[in-house]
Chains A and B, each alone.
Chain A
């Protein structure tokens, strides 16, 4: 009945020729163009210049081609600008296009000369040939020179209303170009309204380009109602969708995705008109359609028949994307990963299509693996496991690791499969391939956590591989296992001790894990492991500069010393179960990413604000509320969804700190002498542990706290403990606070005889019994704040901490907390070298301020080169010079120089003019400010007299302080 039976023939040729022969000839004749790439000889520019100015058209054209070729390979041919522009007036369209190409590249660097081209552009915009009109307006928009932009407005206005659709669609894009150069101009000229009108154009491509241009402009004006999407415009867009090019369909679908329908009925009717796009050959059309559907589906009630139909319709096109080219597969897989997280039901039966093919590029393989795990369920787990086992023997290391990890994740996700997974992992460990073993151990740790007391029989096998583990994650996992099951591993202490030897070379992850594991071990087998736990605690707290490690160390230490029973409860507490799904994207981010399906955001799995600069794309998109909630139905403004989410208010650091300090305060309402309790760190370590041990061992002794606190010597020792506060400008992340903790331990620096006298900074009256006196000194290049804290109250003070307020030279204790809530809003009246300090203990926070001598800030390398000195002196404006008189100072120049040298004030040169010695000196402050000085010493009788000083500095504020310092040093 059909034509096939009558006319069926097999045609002999299998592959069809890609292009007809005559065209081959046509472009074959151009086989000479590649020669332009090879010109490298000298004098080339000069030659080109001559050729460009040739009378012969052909020669001219050849020359312009050479110029373009040079431009492409990165040579600077901007010198030829006038000559090339001269070729612009031509009937030859090919030549014209080449000249335009040149112009687009170089106009910005030669704005004045680019003006020469304007006339031709304006003329071309009036050309009878629509192709030339469009070419002119297209090119003009690409020339980012302000002066030219002005001339562009009139031609653009005409072109937007041109009778030819080709010109209009080009002009529509040109509005976006112009907006990028000068947004204000576009608004003032009313181009935005004209662009909006083009959405109703009769030509689908004009509509599509107008939509693209408007969407882009709207992105940089998040609050404007530029893309006024309402049911009428949506209808227009949906009509154009059926008629325009594949690219136009993408622009329109991407724009539609920003719309929030008023109710579920509108939502459904849009979905119905978008679904046919799922059969388009262009993957981008398909994915953009999926984006619209995924978003609008949120509004459909789940019991609606159509909802189910839609879900079913989504699966096949997504699977089809996997037969596209590998790059598209990759983008599709990244998106499917999101879709599966949001709506797992769509692809739950499609596991097989995600099986890895041997020849897939690695990036496709890795992504497929991710999705396989997400889709794994009891129904398909056998197949999945068989596949994963297969993959674990492949070549690519990353892929194999991920496959091994995936097996572990299957075990956690599908309980029924756990046993098979574990035995598969054990098989893999037997291969002894190093990275396979390590990866397997990491996942087995998670399996232990998920199913406690089920698979511990494998521990022995794991322990055999201890030596081959060289990656931190695997070592940490193994240590965790040993610690967790210490009571079942006979030589747990030996195993852990072996790790302890190289404690400081381990990564933080391993150190933390080792600390915890040994504490666990100690709590389980206290008798044999006492030494080990002391060792690890002292390694963690004393020899490490990692604050996390130290904090954890101290916590354990205190916990063990104050209440070992509680320690047991805390450290060996029942762990919360780990979740089945890992690597899930956080829900709000996932929602945002769903709104960006198909785009780079969906490939990176990051919001656009994470990788797009400037205002574009910073607004967060959100899925519309579901139909049940009724929110979106009531929402009167469809644009609102795209623009809300104000940035969260992040409290300023200062406030945070204030809270932190207040947080720890114990109520000060205690009356009478409180029982002398104290914390572990005021004790000798041995003392403490023995106490802890006693109660651990079930000794009948008193509660630990009382026992230890009863030691009167400790309290006394603490009463007036000298403390040294090394403060550093670089604040290496820790130090200050922790050093304070060392207070009770008596680790303070020995007080030398050189110490200047301390001044009382905080009288006891003001600080509920705490008196602080102190002094600043500079020793061996380090600024130190030496303080004596005296407890004049009746009760013991603990929990000391210190903070400095923001100060002129950025002085800070080397601790993570650096700035305090401002004490005095009126800082300007205070001397520069004023330092506001807060000291905290268990009673309150006390604020005081003290002054440090500025000489403390003079650094050791403050000696300037003569030449530099001269130049700098001249360079600093005279306004910055301050003169001071020094009275009653009888020193000769050498003596003065020596004295000053000890405070890091360096004499660079000396000059004698009319019996007056001039000393030129320099000093450098810790924050890099240089101060230059000219010191005059009168050779009077009978003694020399230092008479006056001129100081020059780029920051003249410091001059006063520096002068005071001079006076202090010289007169001392």
Chain B
């Protein structure tokens, strides 16, 4: 299991050091040597990080980096590496939930809190309950003197209980639910416009303000469910709904979802955590609506000039508007000057980023726009050809490129007297570009 957990700043100075196991060097000196070893071999390494797992002096270090803070777990054993990384991310989430951004300043300002958290969520290197909702009930930096006996046992039963993510007795005057379908659409396209790979990775993010212990059921236009229902009902239904259903390659759920029920009935039922959480993630690869098509044209004119023309076409209902559109066209390192003409938006050559960045604030569906650039190059003797990195794109559209639709979200609270109809529900679809690249 995890032998020790360390947090470094970008200079390699130790901000937090918590040792869980004697085998990583015993107290003090041994650990200091290890801390140094990691700093020298990884943080100060001259090369780019070659692996997130490093074995130094028969000790394995698993690290992640958040902005310029390094979190490293050290161990001498054959630990479950996946679990360690998941834990490190969780640790980041918990810290962020307590004090916001993970920065050197915030870590230093909250070091006592971090030690307290580390004591709670990792015992002898074994991760324990790390749900922020539960942790916040008793790790408050306020002392727990004032708690009554009932409160105490409520805390412990929540921390260890089956529903560790929600406490009892929550009350809202207005029962409200916010549901966001956030998708990121990824594309890799050949210069000829052939889709090399495309997928959507989506998330259903919820914010629930519901009283009591509500039982929820979430439904979407999942092909498997709809087909199943279609078999039971009339053939008309199949024709009608089958067209709109989507094939989900795979999905994963928040731990509140009853997985065995999903496995057998493919129904998504759960008791939601209070406040924000990510209900599910999913991935689709079939019938994706690609919101934009990028058509690149690069021509090398002699050895010192490059002509680039890029056309973008929006491919969705003309009543919808895409926002925050940005096209990034890489330029060779030897670029000496760039001349740009674009029909819409603003374009700039950014020498420090070796790219032309073209920004368009808004664009409706079924439109097209283009930019042309003339790039002057310095003459060089370098035999090595320019690698021509792909043209990438960013955007945001108000629909789900996968075609996912929320069909229902039902709430039952048997003990309290509010019904499904009394809950105010909001839904929103946002499609964003993930890695959206076209080779040129």
Q: Which residues of A contact B (CB under 8 A)?
A: 2-4, 7-11, 14, 16, 18-19, 23-24, 26-27, 30-34, 36-37, 65, 68-69, 72-74, 76, 91-94, 97-98, 100-101, 104-106, 108-109, 128-131, 134, 138, 141-142, 144, 164-167, 169-170, 173-174, 176-177, 180, 203-206, 209, 212, 216, 242-247, 250-251, 254, 273, 275-277, 279-284, 286-288, 316-317, 319-320, 323, 325-328, 330-332, 352-353, 355, 357-359, 361-363, 383, 386-387, 390, 393-395, 431-433, 596, 598-604, 608, 611-613, 616-617
Contact = CB atoms under 8 A, between A and B. Distances in A.
A76 B16 CA distance: 16
Nearest to B330: A358
21 contacts: A3-B408, A9-B426, A16-B276, A18-B96, A65-B112, A94-B116, A105-B27, A129-B147, A130-B152, A209-B126, A246-B86, A327-B64, A328-B82, A330-B51, A352-B196, A431-B384, A600-B60, A611-B55, A611-B60, A612-B76, A613-B23
A16 B108 CA distance: 26
Given A10-B398, A284-B83, 13 more contacts: A27-B98, A27-B99, A36-B111, A37-B108, A72-B111, A91-B145, A104-B19, A128-B149, A130-B153, A203-B161, A247-B128, A331-B85, A600-B60
Interface of B: 1, 13-17, 19-23, 26-28, 32, 35, 48-53, 55, 58, 60, 62-64, 75-83, 85-89, 96-100, 105, 108-113, 115-116, 119, 123-124, 126-131, 138, 140-145, 147, 149, 152-153, 155-157, 159-162, 164, 178, 188, 190, 196-197, 199, 201, 205, 207, 249-255, 258-260, 262-263, 276, 278, 280-281, 283, 383-385, 387-390, 392, 398, 406-409, 424-428, 430, 435, 437, 439
Contacts, number: 344
Contact of A352 (B85, B197, B207, B251): B197
Contacts of A244: 162
A357 B408 CA distance: 36
Contacts of B131: 245
A115 B45 CA distance: 43
Contacts of A431: 383-385
A620 B143 CA distance: 48
Contact of B78 (A209, A287, A317, A608): A608
9 tightest A-B contacts by CB? A316-B250, A34-B108, A166-B156, A276-B263, A284-B83, A276-B259, A284-B82, A608-B78, A247-B127
Given A319-B249, A603-B53, A613-B58, A281 B141 contact: no
Contacts of A604: 53, 55
Contact of B82 (A7, A18, A283, A387): A283
B38 to A, nearest CB: 13
Contacts of A33: 108-112
B26 A108 contact: yes
Contact of B160 (A68, A206, A246, A275): A206
Most chain A CB within 10 A, of B113, B128, B439, is at B128
Given A109-B27, A357-B435, A281 B253 contact: yes
Contacts of A212: 1, 126
A431 B85 CA distance: 41
B347 to A, nearest CB: 21
A362 B50 contact: yes
B182 to A, nearest CB: 10
Contact of A617 (B78, B127, B252, B254): B78
A358 B389 contact: yes
A280 B98 contact: no
B85 A170 contact: no
Contacts of A16: 205, 207, 276
A243 B64 CA distance: 29
Contact of B426 (A11, A27, A390): A11
Given A8-B427, A246-B255, A323-B283, A19 B160 contact: no
B383 to A, nearest CB: 5
A330 B156 CA distance: 36
Contact of A602 (B21, B63, B81, B157): B81
Nearest to A318: B250
Contact of B252 (A30, A280, A362): A280
A106 to B, nearest CB: 7
Contacts of A131: 138, 144, 152, 155-156
A319 B199 CA distance: 11
Most chain A CB within 10 A, of B60, B64, B80, is at B80
